[in-house]
């Protein structure tokens, strides 16, 4: 019926190597294949448009809450199942990439068949034979509007959809780079195909801006890692209902959570730097170890919340409610702005009167800070001194209970086991540190007129101690003396 040659089409730039087809010369074969590919391309275009538009609508209609809430899901008609919103942000680009790759493989075949059809029609016209008619399809018309629509669907629709998905995903730090590079690689690939397929008579004017755009995208891909964090989009969670939400360790930096309901939520170790929680309800919320630096907490309700170890440096606490909070550390609260204009339980008010602000803490020996009182501030040459920073020694507010009842071994163990004001790094002071306690004993206060143990050992069986009557130091291990624990800051 027809002749099939083993010569492959010479215009190989129109399709990938795996897509080259053998040159069939029989008109019926060319016509059948031409019709088949045209119909398949039309169906693939519709599928691509369907997936792309569905992705746009699904993402556009989903609030930012969907990015962090574990119970948020999206129905996926293509597979008939529901997946998480974060999963959808991964699956949707994957489907779009598969469809656009398949579409261009088919289009590469079709371009070869179209060229073969035109060549055969020229020969048929010369011989007075019937020509092969093209199957009507939007991508096969040469008019301006159909050609514009074809170019948009084939080369720009997917990059634009991916850009929208990228914008949505940029609220999550871990999604920024992967999504950006996927969108960039797809854009570069489609630009290169469009450049390669541009008719020769239009290449000079149309391809120049495409080459420029391609170069810009490639260049920016190399520059992007150094600035990727600055592209992060703050989450918009205003007035969202996130009660009992599991958000442990979630990075919510810069999010707007004004008037949100976070009652009973687990925000343990969450990154909440710079967030706006104005008027938010955080009753019973677990905020242990959370970072709330520079957060706006005006009029927020923290009643019954757990604030153990929470970092509130420079946070604005104006009119915030801290009544009945758990594990709240006064010295941490006082690192915030407007801490004295918030509301507290009665037992905390008296404590705050004894605790100075953070800046004052690091200037004056004897001030309350870090679970005790500042006993010494490191000077140049001291172990632990860092130029441009404030570090030093904190003494416990009182001696260990019992007075002079501790052997050296018992003193060391008691300090190591001490847990006070949520601090577990207490220890027995060294010989030099003990001397600083003696020199500043009036500011620190609470010392007995007796001997105190140090952790410094002279030889086996002998450790340094110091009299807090005259300051003399000696060494022995068998006596029973007093103990004052210390920790560094």
Express each pLDDT in 175-192 by its tens digit: 888 888 888 899 898 888
In this prediction, residue 79 carries a pLDDT of 57
Taking only the tens place, the pLDDT of each residue in 350-377 is 555 444 444 444 457 887 777 788 888 8
Q: What is the mean pLDDT of residues 392-400?
A: 87
Taking only the tens place, the pLDDT of each residue in 213-247 is 888 988 888 887 777 777 788 889 999 998 888 88
- In whole angstroms, give the CA distance from residue 190 to residue 262: 45
- In whole angstroms, give the CA distance from residue 246 to residue 261: 13
H helices of 198-311, in order, are 203-223
In this prediction, residue 274 carries a pLDDT of 92
8 confidence band (pLDDT: 50, 70, 90): very low
Q: Which domains does the chain have, with CATH numbers?
A: 4-229 (no CATH), 234-355 (2.160.20.80), 368-488 (3.10.100)
Q: What is the CA radius of gyration of the chain?
A: 36
447 or 140, which is more confident? 447
Mean pLDDT of the chain: 80
* Ordered DSSP codes for 169-223: HTTSHHHHHHHHHHHHHHHHHHHHHHHHHS-GGGHHHHHHHHHHHHHHHHHHHHH
pTM above the 0.85 mark? no
In this prediction, residue 296 carries a pLDDT of 92
Portion of the chain with pLDDT greater than 70, in percent? 86
Residue 468 pLDDT greater than 60, yes or no? yes
In this prediction, residue 161 carries a pLDDT of 92
Q: b/e map of 379-401 (b: 16 or more CB within 10 Å)?
A: eeeeeeeeeeeeebbbbbbebbe
138 confidence band (pLDDT: 50, 70, 90): low
Taking only the tens place, the pLDDT of each residue in 19-66 is 444 455 666 767 777 778 888 888 888 889 988 998 888 888 888 888
DSSP 8-state class, residue 439 = H
Beta 321-322 vs 343-344: how paired, if at all? Answer: parallel
In this prediction, residue 261 carries a pLDDT of 93
């Amino acid at each position: 019926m027809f002749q099939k040659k083993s010569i492959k089409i010479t215009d190989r730039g129109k399709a990938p190597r795996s897509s080259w087809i053998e040159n069939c010369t029989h008109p019926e074969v060319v016509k059948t294949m031409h019709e088949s590919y045209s119909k398949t391309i039309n169906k693939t275009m519709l599928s691509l448009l369907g997936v792309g538009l569905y992705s746009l609508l699904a993402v556009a209609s989903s609030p930012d809450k969907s990015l962090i809430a574990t119970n948020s899901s999206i129905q996926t008609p293509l597979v008939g199942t529901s997946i998480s919103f974060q999963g959808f942000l991964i699956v949707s680009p994957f489907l779009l990439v598969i469809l656009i790759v398949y579409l261009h493989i088919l289009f590469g075949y079709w371009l070869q068949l179209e060229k073969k059809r035109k060549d055969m029609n020229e020969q048929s016209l010369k011989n007075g034979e019937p020509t092969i008619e093209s199957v009507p399809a939007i991508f096969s018309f040469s008019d301006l509007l159909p050609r514009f629509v074809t170019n948009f669907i084939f080369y720009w629709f997917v990059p634009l959809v991916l850009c929208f998905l990228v914008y949505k995903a940029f609220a999550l730090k871990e999604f920024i780079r992967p999504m950006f590079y996927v969108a960039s690689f797809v854009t570069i690939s489609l630009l290169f195909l469009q450049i390669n397929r541009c008719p020769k008579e239009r290449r000079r004017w149309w391809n120049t801006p495409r080459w420029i755009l391609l170069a810009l995208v490639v260049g920016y891909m190399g520059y992007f890692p150094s600035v990727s964090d600055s592209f992060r989009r703050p989450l918009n969670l205003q007035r969202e209902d996130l009660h009992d939400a599991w958000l442990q360790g979630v990075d919510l930096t810069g999010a707007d959570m004004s008037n949100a309901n976070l009652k009973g939520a687990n925000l343990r170790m969450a990154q909440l730097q710079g967030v706006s929680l104005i008027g938010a309800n955080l009753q019973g919320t677990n905020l242990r170890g959370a970072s709330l630096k520079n957060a706006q907490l005006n009029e927020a309700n923290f009643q019954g919340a757990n604030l153990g170890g929470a970092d509130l440096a420079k946070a604005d606490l104006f009119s915030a409610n801290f009544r009945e909070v758990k594990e709240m550390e006064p010295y941490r609260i006082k690192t915030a702005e407007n801490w004295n204009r918030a509301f507290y339980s009665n037992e905390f008010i008296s404590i705050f009167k004894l605790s100075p602000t953070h800046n004052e803490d690091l200037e004056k020996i004897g001030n309350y800070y870090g679970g005790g009182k500042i006993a010494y501030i490191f000077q140049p040459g001291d172990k632990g001194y860092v130029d441009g920073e404030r570090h030093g020694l904190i003494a416990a507010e009182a001696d260990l209970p019992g007075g002079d009842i501790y052997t050296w071994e018992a003193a060391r163990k008691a300090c190591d086991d001490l847990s006070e004001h949520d601090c577990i790094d207490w220890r027995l002071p060294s010989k030099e540190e003990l001397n600083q306690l003696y020199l500043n004993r009036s500011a620190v206060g609470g010392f007995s007129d007796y001997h105190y143990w140090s952790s410094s050992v002279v030889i086996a069986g002998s450790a340094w101690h110091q009299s807090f009557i005259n300051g003399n130091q000696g060494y022995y291990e068998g006596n029973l003396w007093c103990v004052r624990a210390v920790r560094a800051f």
